[in-house]
Structure formats: C-alpha cells, structure tokens
Amino acid sequence: MSESMDKFEVKLDQAARAAWMAYVGGMTQDEIANQLGVSRPGVQRLLALARQEGLVKVHIDHPISTCMTLGSVLRDHFGLAYCDVVPADSQASESAAYYLAVAGAERMARLVERSEPLTLSLGTGRSVRAAVEALSRIERPQHRFVSLVGNVARDGSANRYDAVMLLADKTDGERFLLPAPVVAESLVEKETMLTQRLFKAIADVARESEAAFIGVGRIDRQATLFQDHFISESELDELLSLKAVGELLGWPLNDRGEVIDCSITRRVTSLPLERFVNHLMVAIAGGRDKAPAILAALRGGWLKGLITDETAARHIVDAITR
C-alpha cells in the first residue's frame, strides 16, 4: 500500500469515528475535537469527508420522511413546481387538516410577505379558507386578492368558505369578489353575467394574478357543490352519470382530468381553467375521499403545485405506480 493511500485510509478511519460520534453518539463538534485531538475546523472537514465518501447513510425515522418521499414521487411524475405532503394520523383526521392549513399558509406567506405589489387568486372551500386562517397578519395594502369562484349560492346566501375577504382583512389589501352563483340557473343568465362590466373587471384582475390557491372538490353524494346548494340533486345525478370524479373551480372533471361537457359545465360562471395554464395553480386538498379528484386534476395537467396529506398522496402514488 502506498504512503498516500495509507494516509487516506487513516483519514477515512478518523472521518468514520467523527461521523459515529456526531450522528450516533450525538456529541458536539467541540467534544469530538477533544476526543480526536483535532481542531473544530478539522472535525468539520472530517464530517464532510465522511459524507463525500458515502460513509454516512441517513435514515430518518419520522413520518415526515415518508411524506417527503411521496411528495418527490408526485412532483417528478406530474412535473410540479412543488408538492408538499403533510403527515396524516388515521386516528385524528383533524390533525391532518391542521397540518394542511399550516403548509398552505407557509406557501401563501412566501408570496404575500413580498413588498412588491402582488395579485393573488383564490378558490373557495374549507382547505383554502383554513390556510388563510393560519396565515399571520401582515400589512400589505399594495396587494390585490381576487376570487375565482362565484360567492353566492342558489338561495342567495354568501359562500361561508370564501377566503378573499379574510385574506384582504389580514393584509389590508384590495379585494375582488365574483358576484355570482357557481352555476347559473340558465345559459341566458350566465351570458348576461359575463357581459356585465363588473364581471369583466374582476376577470381582468384574475388574469393578472401570478398564482392561484384553490380547493379540489369531490363529486359524490357528499360533494361540497351539492351540500352547499350550488347545484341541485338532479344536477349531481347528471355529473355522476357522466363519470365525474372531481371539480376545480366548479368545472367537473373525469378521471383523466378532462373537463366534462354537459348542461352544468355550460352554466359554470368561474373563469375557464385554460386561462390559468401559465399561472402557478396550487391545490390544497387531502384525505382519502379527495384522492380520485386530486389525481384527476394532476392528470389533466391543471396544477403546478400541490399541498396534500399522506393519505391522499399514498393513494395517488399507488394509482400511478401499479
């Protein structure tokens, strides 16, 4: 063995000792320096060598480790800018909803905390509303927040899960609400709305937004669209007969993520999904029941970002890898 190789082997032994002390023994760099008789920068060099030579194999025994693996599979498979997966406790579904809200708030905060003027679009729903509730107050009167979904139900009641007003209140920003039902009563009613100056002005603001945070709706008997009186039972039956599995901004999707053409679709008042292909469209949604709808949104290529939980992520990964 050459002298230089011998020296390298000795150095590698020392690196292994330093790595064991740091990662298994939990010792500080000063303690390792004393044990090995080297300086603190020497310890840092040894730890760097141990990592570089593959001596350190990291195994993180924590739920977040699984979440990060699932997130990276989904991000790579669907070409997302990011995919955040939060832990889901099967015994406490409310904890997953809380983590989802916090993760959504963190992503929103990165945009909202900016000082240059921002136009941000929001869908409605419990997850989006909860994310805004988890956001800290910050003074940003230069920002504009615009609703992408009608905020009035068929009976005239306001959408209780609208998040634009709350976000504007938290930031003192400008607010733009879509003064319409999600689904108009008739084609004539929809066409009349679309020609209104107010409706056009809000659509223009939405087009200028650089990012959108939206919910994902399931299409089944528990569909929010139906439960919150945006569509009737016969309309829900029609969607189910056409194999709708989910909806984005009120637009029903089949399992391939294609917008279904039907009598309801023709009366949806939200801006068409095609308008947002160049936006950072981020969905906040989780849970087993939402998995088929989230998968449809991903397959359709509508999303650029996803914030979900481990339960939904696992079902989606299983579906794309079988």
| Segment (H or E) for 122 | strand 119-122
Q: Is the pLDDT of residue 289 over 60?
A: yes
* Mean pLDDT, rounded, for 254-266: 92
The token pair at 19 is 């790595």
Mark whether 35 and 184 lie in a shared domain. Answer: no
Mark whether 253 and 170 lie in a shared domain. Answer: yes
- Residue 1 counted as domain residue: no
pLDDT for position 120? 94
Burial call 204-223: b when 16+ CB within 10 Å, e when fewer: ebbeebebbbbbbbbbbeeb
Mark whether 153 and 27 lie in a shared domain. Answer: no
- Residue 94 counted as domain residue: yes
Mark whether 178 and 49 lie in a shared domain. Answer: no
Mark whether 128 and 269 lie in a shared domain. Answer: yes
pLDDT in tens, 215-233: 999 998 888 878 877 778 8
Q: Is the pLDDT of residue 280 over 90?
A: yes
Q: Give the CA radius of gyration of the chain.
A: 25
pLDDT for position 158? 65
Mark whether 272 and 310 lie in a shared domain. Answer: yes
pTM here is 0.80
The winner for highest mean pLDDT among 108-112, 217-221, 294-298 is 294-298
- CATH code of the domain containing 18: 1.10.10.10
**Domain count across the chain:** 2
- Residue 59 counted as domain residue: no
- Residue 221 counted as domain residue: yes
pLDDT for position 54? 87
Which residues touch 2 (CB under 8 Å, ≥6 apart)?
Answer: none
> What range does the domain containing 12 cover?
7-53
Mark whether 91 and 190 lie in a shared domain. Answer: yes
The pairing of beta strand 82-86 with beta strand 305-309: parallel
Mark whether 272 and 224 lie in a shared domain. Answer: yes
pLDDT for position 275? 84
Q: What is the 3-state secondary structure (H, E, C) of 140-176?
A: CCCCEEEECCCCECCCCCECCCCCHHHHHHHHCCEEE
pLDDT for position 117? 94
Mark whether 272 and 166 lie in a shared domain. Answer: yes
d(CA 58, CA 54): 10
The token pair at 1 is 């063995």
Q: pLDDT grade, residue 276 (50/70/90)? A: confident
d(CA 279, CA 189): 29
pLDDT for position 10? 81
**Percentage of the chain modeled with pLDDT above 90:** 51
Of the listed ranges 12-26, 88-102, 214-228, 277-291, the one predicted with least confidence: 88-102
Mark whether 119 and 227 lie in a shared domain. Answer: yes
- Residue 168 counted as domain residue: yes
* Mean pLDDT, rounded, for 170-194: 88
- Residue 2 counted as domain residue: no
Which residues touch 127 (CB under 8 Å, ≥6 apart)?
Answer: 97, 100, 101, 104, 215, 284, 285, 286
Mark whether 69 and 97 lie in a shared domain. Answer: yes
Mark whether 45 and 98 lie in a shared domain. Answer: no
- CATH code of the domain containing 138: 3.40.50.1360
- Residue 58 counted as domain residue: no
- Residue 180 counted as domain residue: yes
The mean predicted confidence, pLDDT, of the chain is 88
